[in-house]
């Protein structure tokens, strides 16, 4: 009988699909908000203890890439189980810890706390704009995916090279490119949820978290380069 009702009522399926999409979006937003808490704790611990200060150059790169890809593999394997959320939150703690080295450097400036809050506010502003756009744009944006992936890959390669080169100009160029690419990725990932292309809120949260952390880190790098005031 239920199947008959679904087939007779054309609005039944679309209404159920819309409810499911809204549920995924709502759960994603809640988990994304939760993920910021371990990130802040990890950053605070790293700054307070200086545990990441020795992770520079190639050693830091190996630790970061190994930890990040290890966590992302574990998240993918556990995203449909009860362990998915704790693993994701563990990853965000790790990312906060890795971010603490840059935060400590920025806090070395006289206006360091202001720069961090500016970067946070700018990132929040980008997210709000992209979230608003994702709800009003009707066009299918799935075609953006391959181009954004190429852009992100180029940024990663450029970032790895610049770790060894240590060029300030290179960091500026990479940061500007990262803000553009990951802001667009934010819109792409949000639109996938809105359109029903992503149905797992843990995977959705991971994608958006990576977008946000990359935009924040890039903004912070630019603000440190251009706006840092020495004592």
More confident residue, 204 or 10: 204
231: pLDDT confidence band, cut at 50, 70 and 90?
low
For the cut 50, the answer to whether the pLDDT of residue 117 exceeds it is: yes
For the cut 50, the answer to whether the pLDDT of residue 41 exceeds it is: yes
Domain ranges for the chain: 2-227
CA-nearest of 110, 116, 111 to 44 is 116
3: pLDDT confidence band, cut at 50, 70 and 90?
very low
CA-nearest of 180, 162, 43, 56 to 100 is 43
Q: pTM of this prediction?
A: 0.88
Question: And the tokens for 130?
Answer: 């992209």
Q: What is the mean pLDDT of residues 76-92?
A: 94
C-beta contacts of 115-119 below 8 A and 24+ residues apart: 115/220, 115/223, 115/224, 115/227, 115/228, 116/220, 118/219, 118/223, 118/227, 119/216, 119/219, 119/220, 119/223
For the cut 50, the answer to whether the pLDDT of residue 5 exceeds it is: no
Assess contact for 94 and 64: CB atoms under 8 A: no
Output b/e per residue, 118-132; b: 16+ Cβ within 10 A. ebeebbeebbeebbe
Question: And the tokens for 97?
Answer: 């810890």
CA-nearest of 95, 80, 93 to 203 is 80
**pLDDT value for 56:** 67
Q: What is the pLDDT of residues 189-229, one digit of tens each?
A: 999 998 888 889 999 999 999 999 999 999 999 998 887 76
């Amino acid at each position: 009988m239920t199947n008959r009702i679904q087939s007779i009522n054309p609005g039944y399926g679309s209404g159920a699909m819309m409810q499911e999409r809204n549920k995924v979006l709502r759960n994603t937003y809640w988990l994304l908000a939760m993920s910021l808490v371990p990130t802040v704790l990890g950053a605070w611990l790293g700054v307070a203890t200086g545990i990441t200060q020795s992770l520079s150059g190639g050693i830091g790169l190996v630790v970061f890439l190994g930890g990040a890809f290890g966590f992302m593999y574990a998240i993918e394997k556990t995203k449909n189980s009860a362990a998915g959320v704790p693993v994701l939150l563990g990853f965000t703690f790790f990312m906060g810890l890795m971010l603490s080295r840059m935060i400590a450097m920025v806090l070395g400036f006289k206006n360091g706390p202001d720069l961090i809050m500016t970067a946070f506010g700018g990132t929040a502003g980008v997210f709000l704009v992209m979230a608003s756009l994702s709800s009003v744009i009707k066009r299918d944006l799935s075609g953006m995916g391959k181009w954004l992936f190429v852009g992100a890959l180029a940024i990663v390669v450029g970032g790895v090279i610049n770790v060894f080169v240590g060029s300030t100009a290179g960091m500026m160029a990479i940061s500007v490119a990262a803000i553009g690419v990951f802001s667009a990725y934010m819109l792409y990932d949000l639109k996938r949820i809105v359109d029903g292309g992503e149905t797992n809120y843990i995977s959705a949260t991971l994608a958006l978290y990576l977008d946000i952390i990359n935009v924040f880190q890039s903004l912070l790098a630019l603000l440190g380069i251009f706006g840092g005031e020495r004592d």
